[in-house]
C-alpha cells in the first residue's frame, strides 16, 4: 500500500513479503530515501522476538496520523510460530525517517512497538493481524481486530506520535467473540461505513464454511456496540458458498448507498458471499443474501469468474464516489467498476515485464492512483476527467506525480 506524507515527493510503502519493512521512495529522483527493518531497528523486538511477521496489507492496515505511520504486525518468539505470537502496532516517523521515539526526536527507537494481544498456542504464519481503521468519531484513535474477533483500540499522541492502549484497551462487544483460530493467512478485513465497522474473518472453525462477518456500531456503545438486525445476536455466518481464500471486502452501492458487505474467493470460480447491511437490499439487515438476481448485480461476473490460476477480486477496493478501483489475483492490471452504471469504467494493464498482480490502490494529493504490485513494483495511474481509468497513461515509479495532474 502506498501512503503520502506531507513531504512533497515522498511515498512510503509497506510490503508483506519482507520482515516488517517500511520503504521510502523519492519520486523526484526515482530512488530510495530509505529502507527500514523493524526487526533490526527496534530494540524490544530485536531482543524478544526471533521473527517479526510482515504486514499482510489486506483491508487498509497502514495509515498516517500527522507525520507518523502506523502498521499492524505480528511477532513470533520462534520463526515457525510454534511457541505462539504477539500482535500489535508498529510506529514509523516519516519526518525523521526512523521508527518512533517517545520524544519525536532522533535517537534509538523506544516507542515504536505496542503489543495489543498474544497467545502461547501455535500461531499461523505469515500473519494474523487484522485491518487498521480510525476509531469512528474519535480523533487520534484507531481500532484493529484480533484473530479471535476482539476489537483492540490504541491512541496516538498528536505531538509525539507515541502510541498507547485506549481505556479500555478492547471494545466490549461479547456478541462478536468467536473461537480463537490462528490459522495461516488469517487476515481479518475491516470496512468502516459511518459509525459502523464490519469485519470479514476466515478460518472460523465452528462454522460450516469457516467465514464470519462481524459488526460494531460505535453510536451504540452503551449497548455493547451492537448493530441492528441479525448482527445484534452475534457474528453472521454466511454459508451459500464455500470460501477458503479471501482477503477482500467491498460494498455494493444502490443509488449511492452501501447496501451489503461482500467478499470473493480469489481463486475458486464463483465463490462469494454477501450480507445485507441495509433494508434496500431486499433482505433483512444482517441476513445473507441468496436471491440470484440481487447477487448477479452485487457480484459482477468479472469479480469472480476466474479459475485456479486466479483473476478473481483480490484486495479490498479503493472507492472514489461510486467508482471502485481494484486488482485481481494473477491479473496484471487495475480495474474500475462504476456502481451507478453497473459497468466497467476502464482498466490499465501491466506494462511488458514480469507477470504480476496488484494489491490496494490509493490516491495521492494530485489525484493520481498508486498501485503496489506483488513484485514490489509501484505504478502511478492517471484518471480521466470522468474518473475512468486511462488505457494509455501508465507511469513507472520514476515518473513525477505532478505530471500526472497535468495529463488528466
- Select from 100, 87, 23 the least CA-distant residue to 52: 87
| 247 and 211 within one domain | no
Same domain, 282 and 327: no
What pLDDT, on the 0 to 100 scale, is given for residue 154? 93
Question: 48 with 134, same domain?
Answer: yes
One domain, residues 225 and 251: no
CA distance 145 to 192: 13
Identify which of 310, 253, 256, 248 has the alpha carbon closest to the alpha carbon of residue 273.
Answer: 248
Looking at 237, 259, 278, which one is the last position of a domain?
237
Between CA 239 and CA 237 the distance in angstroms is 6
Q: Does 51 fall in a domain?
A: yes
For 176, the grid coordinates are: 462478536
**Together in a domain, 74 and 178:** yes
Q: What are the E-state strand segments in 188-258?
A: 189-193, 196-202, 211-217, 253-254, 257-258
Are both 85 and 205 inside the same structural domain?
Answer: yes
Query: Does residue 146 surpass a pLDDT of 80?
Result: no
Residues 6+ apart with CB under 8 A from 138: none
Angle at 182 between CA 180 and CA 186, to 5 degrees: 115
The verdict on residue 250 lying in a domain is yes
Looking at the structure, tell me whether residues 72 and 104 fall in a common domain. yes
Q: Is the peptide bond before 349 cis (omega within 30 degrees of 0)?
A: no
Q: Is residue 59 part of a domain?
A: yes
The CA distances from residue 113 to 20, 74, 116, in Å, are: 12, 11, 10
Residues 74 and 115 in one domain: yes
**Residue 106, domain extent:** 36-237
- Shared domain for 281 and 324, answered yes or no, is no
| DSSP state letter for 354 | S
Map residue 360 onto helix, strand or coil: strand
pLDDT one-digit tens code per residue, 148-180: 678 899 999 988 998 999 998 999 888 888 776
SS3 of residue 73 by DSSP: strand
Query: How many other C-beta atoms can be found within 10 angstroms of the C-beta atom of residue 68?
Result: 23
- What are 304-331's pLDDT values in tens digits? 887 656 688 877 889 999 999 988 888 8
389 pLDDT above the threshold of 50: no
- What does the pLDDT read at residue 109? 93
Burial label for 191, CB within 10 Å (0-12, 13-18, 19+), is buried
| C-alpha cell recorded at residue 196 | 459502523
Number of CB atoms found within 10 A of residue 386's CB: 9
**Same-domain status, 340 and 305:** no
How far is 29 from 359, CA to CA, in rounded Å?
A: 24
What is the C-alpha to C-alpha distance for residues 329 and 325, in angstroms, rounded to an integer? 14
End-to-end C-alpha distance for the chain, whole angstroms: 23
Same domain, 292 and 335: no
Measured CA to CA, the distance from residue 175 to residue 120 in angstroms comes to 24
Q: What is the pLDDT of residues 73-88, one digit of tens each?
A: 877 888 777 888 888 8
33 vs 9: CA distance, rounded Å: 11
Instruction: Judge whether 223 lies within some domain.
Output: yes
Contact 81, 108 (CB under 8 A): no
Q: What is the DSSP letter of 54?
A: P
pLDDT in tens, 20-66: 788 888 878 878 888 888 888 888 888 777 777 665 444 456 787 88
Q: Which helix (H) or strand (E) holds 47?
A: helix 43-48
Task: Say if residue 392's pLDDT is above 80.
Answer: no
H, E, C per residue of 278-325:
CHHHCCCCCCECCCHHHHHHHCCHHHHCCECCECCECCCCEEECCEEE
Beta strand pairing status for 343-349 and 333-338? antiparallel
193 pLDDT band, cuts 50/70/90, is: very high
CA 395 to chain centre: 24
Q: CA-CA distances (angstroms) from residue 61 to 134, 247, 339?
A: 11, 12, 25
Same domain, 181 and 278: no
Domain count, the chain: 3
**Residue 149 belongs to a domain:** yes
Assigned domain for 4 exists: no
| pLDDT at 254 (0 to 100) | 97
pTM to 2 decimal places: 0.88
Domain boundary among the residues 237, 253, 285 is at: 237
3-state SS, residue 64: strand
Amino acid at each position: 500500500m502506498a501512503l503520502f506524507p506531507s513531504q512533497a515527493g515522498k511515498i512510503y510503502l509497506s510490503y508483506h513479503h519482507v520482515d516488517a519493512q517500511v520503504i521510502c521512495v523519492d519520486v523526484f529522483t526515482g530512488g530510495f530515501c530509505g529502507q527500514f527493518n523493524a526487526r533490526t531497528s527496534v530494540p524490544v523486538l530485536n531482543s524478544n522476538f526471533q521473527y517479526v511477521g510482515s504486514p499482510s496489507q489486506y483491508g487498509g492496515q497502514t495509515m498516517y496520523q500527522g507525520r507518523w505511520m502506523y502498521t499492524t504486525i505480528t511477532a513470533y518468539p520462534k520463526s515457525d510460530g510454534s511457541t505462539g505470537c504477539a500482535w500489535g502496532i508498529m510506529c514509523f516517523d516519516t519526518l525523521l525517517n526512523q521508527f518512533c521515539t517517545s520524544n519525536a526526536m532522533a535517537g534509538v527507537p523506544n516507542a515504536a512497538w505496542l503489543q495489543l494481544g498474544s497467545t502461547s498456542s501455535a500461531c499461523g504464519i505469515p500473519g494474523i493481524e487484522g485491518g487498521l481503521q480510525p476509531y469512528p468519531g474519535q480523533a487520534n484513535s484507531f481500532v484493529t481486530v484480533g484473530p479471535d474477533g476482539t476489537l483492540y483500540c490504541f491512541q496516538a499522541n498528536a505531538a509525539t506520535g507515541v502510541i498507547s492502549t485506549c481505556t479500555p484497551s478492547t471494545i466490549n462487544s461479547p456478541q462478536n467473540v468467536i473461537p480463537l483460530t490462528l490459522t495461516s493467512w488469517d487476515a481479518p478485513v475491516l470496512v468502516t461505513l459511518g459509525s459502523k465497522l464490519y469485519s470479514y474473518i476466515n478460518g472460523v472453525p465452528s462454522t460450516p464454511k469457516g467465514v464470519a462477518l462481524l459488526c460494531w456500531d460505535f453510536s451504540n456503545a452503551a449497548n455493547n456496540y451492537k448493530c441492528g438486525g441479525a448482527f445484534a445476536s452475534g457474528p453472521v455466518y454466511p454459508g451459500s458458498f464455500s470460501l477458503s481464500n479471501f482477503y477482500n471486502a467491498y460494498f455494493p452501492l444502490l443509488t449511492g448507498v452501501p447496501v451489503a458487505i461482500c467478499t470473493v474467493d480469489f481463486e475458486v470460480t464463483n465463490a462469494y458471499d454477501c450480507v445485507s447491511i441495509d433494508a434496500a437490499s431486499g433482505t433483512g439487515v444482517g441476513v445473507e443474501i441468496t436471491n440470484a438476481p440481487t447477487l448477479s448485480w452485487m457480484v459482477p461476473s468479472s469479480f469472480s469468474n476466474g479459475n485456479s490460476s486466479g483473476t478473481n477480486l483480490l484486495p479490498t477496493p479503493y472507492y472514489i464516489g461510486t467508482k471502485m478501483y481494484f486488482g485481481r489475483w494473477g491479473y496484471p492490471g487495475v480495474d474500475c467498476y462504476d456502481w451507478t452504471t453497473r459497468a466497467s469504467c476502464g482498466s490499465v494493464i501491466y506494462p511488458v515485464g514480469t507477470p504480476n498482480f496488484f494489491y490496494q490502490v490509493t490516491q495521492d494529493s494530485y489525484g493520481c492512483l498508486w498501485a503496489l504490485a506483488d513484485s514490489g513494483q509501484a505504478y502511478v495511474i492517471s484518471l480521466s476527467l470522468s474518473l475512468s481509468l486511462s488505457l494509455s497513461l501508465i507511469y513507472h515509479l520514476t515518473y513525477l506525480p505532478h505530471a500526472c495532474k497535468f495529463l488528466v
